[in-house]
Each structure stands twice: as C-alpha cells, then as structure tokens.
Amino acid sequence: MMIKFVLMVNRQGQTRLSRYYQPVELSRRAALEADVVRCCLSRRKEQVPEGHTSCGSAAAPLRLLSLRPLCPQCSFVEYRDFKLVYRQYAALYIVVGVTDAENELSIYELVHNFVEVLDKYFSRVSELDIMFNLDKVHIILDEMIQNGHIVETNKTRVLAPLTALDKMADG
C-alpha cells in the first residue's frame, strides 16, 4: 500500500503542484494529470451547489479552509488499477493517487491535515499562497510524505525545518 502521487489542481484543471512517488515520465505526466482531473472534476457539478462560489469576499483571495467541504458524493474514484482520493478546498482540488490496498479514508484525512499545516504556516492559506510559495509547499509536503509513505503528521514537527530556515534567512 502506498501513495503514488499528490496533485493540486484548480477548477480549470491547471496543475498547481504535482509530486510523484513512483517514476512517471515527464511526457506522460500531463496526460495523466488531465485524465485524473477529468475523473474528479466531472463529479464537481453535483458536488458544489450553485452559489457556493460566492462565499469568498470579493477583495480577498479565497481562504481554503473557510469552507466546509460538502460531500454528497464519494471522495474516492477508481482510476485504472488504483484509486484516487480527492478533496476540494474552495477552487482547489487535492488529488492523491493510492494503491488499492491503501486505507482511502486515512488518506482523505491526511489531505486535510496537510491543508491544516499549510493554513498554520501561511496563516489562512489561499490558492495564491500555494502558487507563490511552491517551493515551501513542496518542502512541507516532503516532510509529510516520503517514498509514498506518511512519515510525519505532527504539525509542529512538520513545520520545524521550514521555520528554522525562515529564521536563518531573516536573521
């Protein structure tokens, strides 16, 4: 059982972040991502009722954790010979590809833990934070998942190396 990849995609299907834990050739990634996004986003219509998008204020970027994700649909999708676990935060989708033997619900919550960590670091994380700090998001993710396994979930500990780096840069 393991995690094959973590993707962050927006509603337009643009990849914001991708991390593969099994070698996938660069040329095949775009197609795979498009396919995965199609699988998950095709369910979007039922998932987000009309008017849901207006929750964010006009002036500020949408905070990811401000919305309670609605979930009338299953968050797990079968894709080829593995499963996709996806979770929506505002306009951002986080999709995790896992093997069939993996405990999908625990991954589903791992995603939430990840977003909570991001929220803690960026204090009120938004999609823009992720875009402008791609390197840091990657560093955080690397603290949590390695080789397709969950290696740390304790928020303080996940952030410890990065905050140390920030301090070094400041001082």
CB of 93 to another protein, least distance (A): 13
Assign 77 to helix, strand or coil: strand
> Which residue number, 73 or 99, has a Cβ lying nearer to another protein?
73
| Choice between 11 and 65, CB closer to another protein | 11
**CA 122 to chain CA mean position, Å:** 15
What minimum distance in Å lies between the beta carbon of 110 and another protein?
A: 7
**Backbone φ and ψ of 61, nearest 5°:** -65, 150
Least distance (Å) between residue 35 CB and another protein: 11
- The token pair at 15 is 């990849």
- Euclidean distance between CA atoms 147 and 125, whole angstroms: 26
| φ, ψ for residue 139, nearest 5 deg | -65, -40
Kindly state the smallest distance separating residue 105's Cβ from another protein, in Å.
4
CA angle, residues 151, 2, 157, in degrees to nearest 5:
10
